[in-house]
Structure 1
Amino acid sequence: MATPGGHAIATTNEVIESAVIRAPLSHVWHFLKLAEFHKFWSAMSQAEVIKGTSPETDVFRWTFKDGSVVEVKQDEYSTLDHFITYSVINSEPNLSYSSAVSTIRCWAVTSGEFEDSTFVRWTSKFSSDADVGVVEDAKYKRRDALKDLADAAARMVKEHAD
């Protein structure tokens, strides 16, 4: 379906990507602080706090290697339940949609083939004005970031084993 302006309307405004990362929860969770995403996400060149007095209220600037800059606000952070929720509040260049809220949640895998691994789910909910291209782009960016997170956690496992 297309809007009067000719843009395809997304059939869903949510992206859900997940992965089993072969590293303990503590190694994966270590990277999931908004000011440290650049330490695992290869698309990002820098992450920095730009305002706030505590991690619960801070706003972060993410600079990506393609030159785009996104400001995100931490909405929730739970070290007990291992999740972080953040929303995009500003972007250069401007976004083609009104809003996006994302949550990354981790669970320890405690038995079976993937014991001592971590299950990670990254969801992003976009405003209704996000088109199909936005949703598809987010899907592949999340997949790439989860692969990068797995690689970073694997390096940490190796460092702790040496």
Structure 2
Amino acid sequence: MAESIRIPTSTSVLESAVIQAPLSAVWHLIKLQDFSKWWSKLDKSEDVKNTSEETDVVKWAFADGTVLEVKQEEHSTLNHYITYSVITSNPALSYTSVVSTIRCFEVTSGSSEGHTFITWSGHFSSDADAGVIEDAKFKRREALADLAKAATKK
């Protein structure tokens, strides 16, 4: 019987982009319940009812049939970031947990002045394998491209 060999890998991913739109146009779109308005992989995003007043939980239904419930952990309108974690998944995830943060920054000088620099990180539990990290990398890249299209629509 062949033994499975686990390849050591980083359990973090960070993708970034410069979106050719002002910070206000980009930040306005960064609400968990509104992600389906711009992320092409999402069919639906909606608030989950019957959670406590202190808890913001949103259900994301993806085009491939995956349904996640994500919990907003932090949100700053002053520093333009949002942090969320996945609390349930159908089908089940192959790893224990992930916490993601989207941060937006106004570009204040240079050729991209007036545009938005954005990062989208993910920090996975140690049981996430290289395939999970690669998948997260490409999903973030695709989503950032979708966000750029939505933010620059006239």
Identify whether the pair has TM-score above 0.5, normalized to the shorter chain.
yes
- Asked whether 1:101 is paired with 2:99, we answer yes
Q: Shift of the alpha carbon at 1:58?
A: 1.0
Structure 1: unaligned runs, 5 residues or longer: none
CA distance in 1, matches of 2:60, 2:44: 6
Q: Which residue of 2 aligns with 1:24?
A: 22
Q: Which residue of 2 aligns with 1:151?
A: 149
Q: Which residue of 2 aligns with 1:58?
A: 56
**Scaled by the length of structure 1, what TM-score is found?**
0.90
Change (3 A) 1:106 1:8: same
2:113 aligned to 112, 115, 137, which one?
A: 115
Change (3 A) 1:28 1:13: same
Q: Which residue of 1 aligns with 2:89?
A: 91
**Scaled by the length of structure 2, what TM-score is found?**
0.94
Q: Are the aligned partners of 1:73 and 1:88 in contact in 2 as well (CA < 8 Å)? A: yes
CA distance in 2, matches of 1:138, 1:7: 22
Q: Which residue of 2 aligns with 1:81?
A: 79
Letter in 2 for 1:84: I
CA distance in 2, matches of 1:26, 1:65: 28
Q: Secondary structure at the match of 1:129?
A: coil
Q: Shift of the alpha carbon at 1:88?
A: 0.4
Q: Which residue of 2 aligns with 1:14?
A: 12
Letter in 1 for 2:47: V
CA distance in 1, matches of 2:5, 2:36: 32
Q: Are the aligned partners of 1:23 and 1:154 in contact in 2 as well (CA < 8 Å)? A: yes
The total of aligned residue pairs comes to 152
Q: Which residue of 1 aligns with 2:35?
A: 37
Q: Are the aligned partners of 1:10 and 1:135 in contact in 2 as well (CA < 8 Å)? A: no
Structure 2: unaligned runs, 5 residues or longer: none
Letter in 2 for 1:27: A
Q: Secondary structure at the match of 2:48?
A: strand
Q: Secondary structure at the match of 1:140?
A: helix
Q: Shift of the alpha carbon at 1:9?
A: 3.6
CA RMSD of aligned residues (A): 1.5
Q: Secondary structure at the match of 2:101?
A: strand
CA distance in 2, matches of 1:30, 1:7: 45
Q: Shift of the alpha carbon at 1:8?
A: 3.3
